[in-house]
Each structure stands twice: as C-alpha cells, then as structure tokens.
Amino acid sequence: MKFAELVAAYERLDATSKRLELREIFVGLLKDAGGPELGPVLFLSQGQLRPEYEGVELGVANSLARRAIAGATGVPDAEVARSEKLSGDLGLTAEELLRGRSPAADAAAITVEELYRALRSVADAKGEGSQDRKVGILSALLTRSTPLEGKYLVRFVLGQLRLGVREMTILDALAQRYADGSKEARSRIEAAYNLTSDLGLVAEALDRGGLEALGALRLEVGRPIRPMLAERSPDLADVMERMDGRAALEMKYDGLRVQAHVPEEGPVRIFSRRLEEIGEQFPELVRALPGALRRRPAIVEGECVPIDPETEEIRPFQEISRRRGRKYDLERMQAEVPVTVFLFDVLLDGTTATTALPFGERRARLVDLLLPSERVALADQAVVTSVDEAQAYFDRCIALGGEGVMAKSLAPESSYHPGGRGFWWIKYKREYTHALADSVDGVVVGAFAGRGRRAGRYGALLMAVLDEESGRFETFCKVGSGFDDATLAGLPERLAPFARDAADPRVRTTLLPDRWMAPGLVLEIRGAELTLSPTHPAGFGRLKPGSGLALRFPRFTGRFRDDKGPEEATTVAELVRLYQTQVKRAADVAEPGGTTGGASPAGARE
Ligand code: AMP
C-alpha cells in the first residue's frame, strides 16, 4: 500500500466526525491493506507505532521536526519557525513549504511498509547523535513526500494526528470487514482485544483466519490484559441485592492498580491501569514479587499503597504520587514512602489461565499461590451474607485506611471480564467529607519502637482522649507522621518521666505498644477525618454499638501542648461533637441548600 493512499483516506477521515462515516472509510482502508500492513495502518491511524502498553515513543519535538522540514525544502530554519507561528500547525507549514519546492523528479512513492520501518528507526534512535539521526531519517522521508504526505507525516511525528479514529470505531470496522458486522462478531473481536491489548495482533489474526482464528490468541506474560472494572452502587442494601444476598467483600485500597507479570525467569513487568509500564518506579515490588509467588509464570493484580514504615498503617494515596514519574532518587523514596501491593486477583497461575474461573476459585488459587511478605500481601476479604455484616465490614475497612469496599460476585458466571465494567464487581466508597475542622489535643499513652531509619528510637505514639465521666483515657489513633528528626531524637527524653512497664489503669486500648506511658504529655494532632472504628475505644458505643472513633491519617502538627495537662486535652465528648459536625457538613455537601432531610453520608448511618 502506498502512503499516498493512506493519506487520501486521512483527508476523508479529517473531514468528518460521524462515527458511521469514519467506520466506512476505515473498512475501505482495511480492504486495501495487505496482511503485514494491517498492524501499521491501524497503529499509524491512531497516532501510534505500537500498542500503547509497549510505550514506544518517537521522541520528536517541534524543533527537531523544523530542522527536518528545513533540510527537505532548503528553507532556512528561522523561516520554517516563522511560518509555523502563522499557521499554528507545523503540519500545514510542511505542506505549504513542500508545495513551493520543485518535486524531486525521480522520487519513488513511499510505501506504508517503508514509512513504518523508517518511523520505527526514529523511535529506536537513542543516545549520542540520535537527534541528528532522527532529523536525517525524517528529512529523507519529507524529501520524497507530496505536500499532503508531508502534512500528515509531520503531524504524526509530533503526536498531533488526531483523526478521531477511536478504538471503538476500529473494532466496529474490523467486525464489518472480517465478519458480518453483527453484535456477536463485534463482541468476540472486542474480547480478543481486551485479552491482548493489541489491535494489530487481533487484525492480523482476523486476516489470517477470520473469527475462528481469534480463539488462538492467549494470555501472555509480558502483554497486559485490559483490566476488569467495577460498577458503583449507592448503598450496601443495593449491593447485597445485586449479589443475590452473598458476596465477597474486600477492602478497597486507595492506591494504584497494578498488574504484575512474573515470568518463569527474567524480569518482572508491572503495568498500570492504563497499561503503562511502571515497574521502574517500584523496584522493591519487582524484586519482591518472584519470591512471593509459589508458581511461575504468573499474572496477578493488586492495589499498590503507601505504607507508613513506622506504624505499618496505610498512608494517603497522594504520597505515592511523589514517586510517580521519578527516575532519580528512587532509593531514598523507597525508604520514605515504601509501598505494599495488596493482591486481589490472579489471571495466570503457572501455565493455567484462570480468567474463566469464577471469582471464588480465583481467590482460592491466589491464596494458595501467595507467600505473603511485607511488600506483597493479600487483599483483606470477608464473605458476607447480610447487609449488617456488609456494613460492619465496611466500617472496619474505613477504620483501617481503606476508601470503602469492593463487593465481588461469587456466582458461577463471575469470571474475570477483561476491559469490562459490570456488576460482578461493585465499588462502594465512603463519600469523602473534608479535612477535619479542628485539631485534636491528644495524650500520649504508649510508644512503639521505630523501624528502618527510626530503629533505636520511638517510631510512633499511641494517642488518647479523656472521657470526663469515667476519667479514662481512650485511644483514637497511632501517630507516626509529622515528626522531624530533631523531635524524634528528643522523644525518649521527653517521654522518660512517663514511661511504665504496664498500662496505666486509666488507659483503654486494644493495641499493645512496646512501651506504656502514663498520661502526661499532650500533642496537637491533625487528621483527614474521624471515622467509626471497632479498633479504637474512644467514645465506644456512643455513636454506634461496637464502634469507637478513630482519626484517619493522623499527623503531629509539631506543637507539644506543654501548656496543657492530660486533663485539659481534648475530651471524648468533644471528639463526638467533632464527628457530628463533620457528618453534618458532609450532609450539606450531599444536599446543597440545607441540612434538613435524611441525607446522611455513607458510613454515618446508624
Ligand atoms: P475506581 O478507581 O473508583 O473505579 O475503583 C476501582 C479501582 O479500585 C480498581 O481499578 C482498583 O484500582 C481499586 N481497588 C482497590 N482495592 C481493590 C480490590 N480489593 N479489588 C479490586 N479493585 C480494587
């Protein structure tokens, strides 16, 4: 196929935005392209060279493209830049400048195959002298280009093709070209794409043997599968109804979804939800994964969350984003913001593809496959059979730092649906309220030994508030964030007068610190929000049977309240009020214009 033919189709695609017309034009293109050209035609038309997950980038900036145009047309660089400024589109500039040039008399027409090969070498050019090599290749192509070819070539290399040909349109066109265009054919083709994430591969299989040939496409280690997605639901009663009264509920971790491909030998590859390869950013996971699985090859999925190295509690998701896109300083970031991946699914277990198994069986396999470690853990799960059980589990997840629950169907049809959003998985999140209105003055009642960089010191403190009625100090959080080095170093001395071997009889907690402290030292603490929690006894049973209050994502503000004794610290009654204003404000958000009516936020229900 000639590049000129492709470009003629691009002109027509460019002139319409109607999906049906786009599809018809595309079907025509598919008919004209020969087998090996199919992949290139599909990828080029989407402005890519390879499937997205391979992350192949041309690495061509405007300045480089300008140099290539100058080289091909003999027009000086500055002149090209001036023209670009006027047109606002370097593609149009190339077209115009190529028109003004006398065409090379003996130039042979560019074929799609040749163009594709040349562009791949542009992408492959790395290291010293690569810029010049890229300019050379592009300039040689432009020298042989017609003005129209030049326009699209330049737009392509700059990532500005934008023909409006979306994946959905291509799948429609494939169904039309290689089958009868029916819904059933379309969904078989889409399923093959969801499994392989590679339209080129799907098109080539169709070209070879029609729909039947799709059956030969398999899950492969190193090639991501498009992730299964979840529907959402307004409340847990609805969730349980849709699940026919029985479901596996899992903690919904607030982090980054990862799909890990662990080959029998060789490097682990980790893909994000959008199928970008992100293993480089999480070397500790790449290292830990092979040893964490009993069988290989394997493909597993999970959520990667930041963990506080001191308290081992889940930290806010934002702390992971400090690591995203980083190339340098990774070692330091690993120590500061280590991550743990909580695995929730297995797609390949040894040589067995498990995607067709019901979820319950996949979970059993995952449990059997995993050797849990600090970096690779199992997603928390409970099988529930009533709304009350679901609510209790939800409250527990929130208290542990989750953002809600994922309900998963255990029905026989609950196979892994790649790329699909359906009610097999339902997410139910707590509505985010807002930052806690006020800080809390908490009393130190215990301390935990530090680990990692904080070894030999205290790493986290157990904090309580005072219940004025009983005179007890009831814990509401464990705080390890917000301490600078100097403060940490000074903590043992500051706490020495209060240190005890046993719990002070006034202290109520379910946790076991490494060192008990008599109530004395008061610290100002901030946090994201107060949540109902079965773990902490502060205000136990006052808002809900079986629950106390816990502060989510606590952080020391840096202020020691030496001006306050433990009896002047925040009280349980104040904490309860703080929780209620938070609930009220959340209701305001849910129902603009008033606080009346029963709009209570998720999780605040009685
Ligand atoms: P959302 O991003 O709000 O559409 O919620 C779906 C996402 O929740 C998934 O893509 C995962 O990244 C994440 N997630 C967290 N915990 C789980 C879990 N236990 N099972 C499945 N997905 C989870």
Nearest-atom number in ligand 1 for the CA of 381 is 19
Q: What is the overall mean pLDDT for the chain?
A: 89
Whole-number Å distance, alpha carbon 344 to ligand 1 midpoint, is: 9
Fill in the amino acid letter for 206: L
- Single out the residue in 401, 428, 455 at which a domain terminates: 428
Instruction: Please tell me the predicted confidence (pLDDT) of residue 451.
Output: 80
Domain with 522 in it: 440-589
**With 50 as the cut, is the pLDDT of residue 593 above it?**
no
Q: Is the peptide bond before 40 cis (omega within 30 degrees of 0)?
A: no
Same domain, 423 and 444: no
Query: Are 32 and 1 contacting, i.e. CB atoms less than 8 angstroms apart?
Result: yes
What proportion of the chain, given as a percentage, has pLDDT over 90? Answer: 70
Backbone angles phi, psi at 239, to 5 degrees: -60, -50
Structure token pair of residue 300: 């597993």
Residues with CB under 6 A from ligand 1: 230, 250-253, 257, 273, 303, 344, 379, 406, 427
In a domain, 221, yes or no: no
Average pLDDT over residues 456-482: 92
Same domain, 236 and 184: no
Using CB atoms within 10 A of its CB, is residue 196 exposed (0-12), middle (13-18) or buried (19+)?
buried
Ligand 1, atom 10, lies closest to the CA of 257
Domain count, the chain: 4
If one compares 78 and 401, the residue with the highest pLDDT of the two is 78
pLDDT tens per residue, range 156-204: 999 999 888 888 899 999 999 999 999 999 999 999 999 999 999 999 9
pLDDT band for 421, please (50, 70, 90 cuts).
confident
Same domain, 308 and 199: no
**With 60 as the cut, is the pLDDT of residue 606 above it?**
no
Same domain, 308 and 421: yes
Instruction: Please tell me the predicted confidence (pLDDT) of residue 443.
Output: 97
In a domain, 459, yes or no: yes
Nearest-atom number in ligand 1 for the CA of 380 is 19
Same domain, 200 and 286: no
Ligand 1, atom 17, lies closest to the CA of 252
Ligand 1, atom 11, lies closest to the CA of 257
In a domain, 239, yes or no: yes
Instruction: Please tell me the predicted confidence (pLDDT) of residue 429.
Output: 83
* Whole-structure pTM value: 0.77
Same domain, 410 and 283: yes
Instruction: Please tell me the predicted confidence (pLDDT) of residue 105.
Output: 61
pLDDT tens per residue, range 228-267: 999 888 789 999 999 999 999 999 998 899 999 999 999 9
Instruction: Please tell me the predicted confidence (pLDDT) of residue 207.
Output: 95
Query: Are 284 and 334 contacting, i.e. CB atoms less than 8 angstroms apart?
Result: yes
In a domain, 605, yes or no: no
- CATH code where residue 128 lies: 1.10.3260.10
Query: Are 351 and 297 contacting, i.e. CB atoms less than 8 angstroms apart?
Result: yes
pLDDT tens per residue, range 88-110: 899 999 999 999 886 666 678 99
**Probe target for ligand 1 pocket from 303, 304, 378, 431, with the most ligand atoms within 8 Å of CB:** 303
Alpha helices in 385-477 (DSSP H): 387-399
Using CB atoms within 10 A of its CB, is residue 455 exposed (0-12), middle (13-18) or buried (19+)?
exposed
pLDDT tens per residue, range 275-312: 999 998 899 999 999 999 999 999 999 999 998 877 77
Instruction: Please tell me the predicted confidence (pLDDT) of residue 176.
Output: 96
In a domain, 223, yes or no: no
Instruction: Please tell me the predicted confidence (pLDDT) of residue 604.
Output: 31
Same domain, 247 and 203: no
pLDDT tens per residue, range 523-555: 999 988 898 888 899 999 998 888 899 998 899
Same domain, 133 and 195: no
Ligand 1, atom 3, lies closest to the CA of 427
Nearest-atom number in ligand 1 for the CA of 429 is 3
Instruction: Please tell me the predicted confidence (pLDDT) of residue 327.
Output: 64
**Probe target for ligand 1 pocket from 344, 345, 400, with the most ligand atoms within 8 Å of CB:** 344
In a domain, 359, yes or no: yes
If one compares 451 and 508, the residue with the highest pLDDT of the two is 508
Average pLDDT over residues 374-378: 95
**With 90 as the cut, is the pLDDT of residue 578 above it?**
no
SS3 helix, strand, coil % of the chain, rounded to 5?
40, 20, 40
Same domain, 183 and 246: no
Q: Map 118-171 to HEC letters.
A: HHHHHHHCCCCCHHHHHHHHHHHHHHCCCHHHHHHHHHHHCCCCCCCCCHHHHH
Average pLDDT over residues 487-499: 93
Instruction: Please tell me the predicted confidence (pLDDT) of residue 225.
Output: 97
- CATH code where residue 470 lies: 2.40.50.140
Instruction: Please tell me the predicted confidence (pLDDT) of residue 584.
Output: 63
Instruction: Please tell me the predicted confidence (pLDDT) of residue 605.
Output: 29
Same domain, 492 and 401: no
Ligand 1, atom 18, lies closest to the CA of 252
**Probe target for ligand 1 pocket from 427, 428, 431, 432, with the most ligand atoms within 8 Å of CB:** 427
Instruction: Please tell me the predicted confidence (pLDDT) of residue 600.
Output: 32
Whole-number Å distance, alpha carbon 407 to ligand 1 midpoint, is: 10
The count of C-alpha atoms lying within 13 angstroms of the C-alpha of 601, restricted to the half-sphere facing its C-beta, is: 24
Instruction: Please tell me the predicted confidence (pLDDT) of residue 384.
Output: 98
Active site residues: 252
Average pLDDT over residues 315-319: 77
Average pLDDT over residues 437-466: 89
Nearest-atom number in ligand 1 for the CA of 250 is 19
Whole-number Å distance, alpha carbon 341 to ligand 1 midpoint, is: 12
**With 90 as the cut, is the pLDDT of residue 434 above it?**
no
In a domain, 571, yes or no: yes
**With 90 as the cut, is the pLDDT of residue 460 above it?**
yes
Say how far apart CA 336 and CA 317 lie, in whole Å: 14
Whole-number Å distance, alpha carbon 312 to ligand 1 midpoint, is: 21
**With 90 as the cut, is the pLDDT of residue 417 above it?**
yes
Same domain, 116 and 183: no
Instruction: Please tell me the predicted confidence (pLDDT) of residue 71.
Output: 95
Q: Go through 462-495 and write b for each residue having 16 or more CB atoms within 10 A of its CB, e for each that does not.
A: bbbbbbeeeebbbbbbbbbbebeeeebeebeeeb
Sole residue written with tokens 């995993």: 370
- Single out the residue in 157, 182, 197 at which a domain terminates: 157
Same domain, 206 and 313: no
What residues are paired with 408 via a beta bridge? 248, 425
**With 50 as the cut, is the pLDDT of residue 592 above it?**
no
Element (H, E) at 248: strand 247-251
3-state SS assignment for residue 45: helix
**With 80 as the cut, is the pLDDT of residue 64 above it?**
yes
If one compares 496 and 437, the residue with the highest pLDDT of the two is 496
Ligand 1, atom 23, lies closest to the CA of 252
Say how far apart CA 336 and CA 81 lie, in whole Å: 46
Instruction: Please tell me the predicted confidence (pLDDT) of residue 310.
Output: 75
- Single out the residue in 157, 187, 207 at which a domain terminates: 157
Structure token pair of residue 199: 């339209």
Residue 13: partners with Cβ closer than 8 Å, 6 or more residues away: 22, 25, 26, 45, 163, 164, 165
Say how far apart CA 310 and CA 199 lie, in whole Å: 46
In a domain, 600, yes or no: no
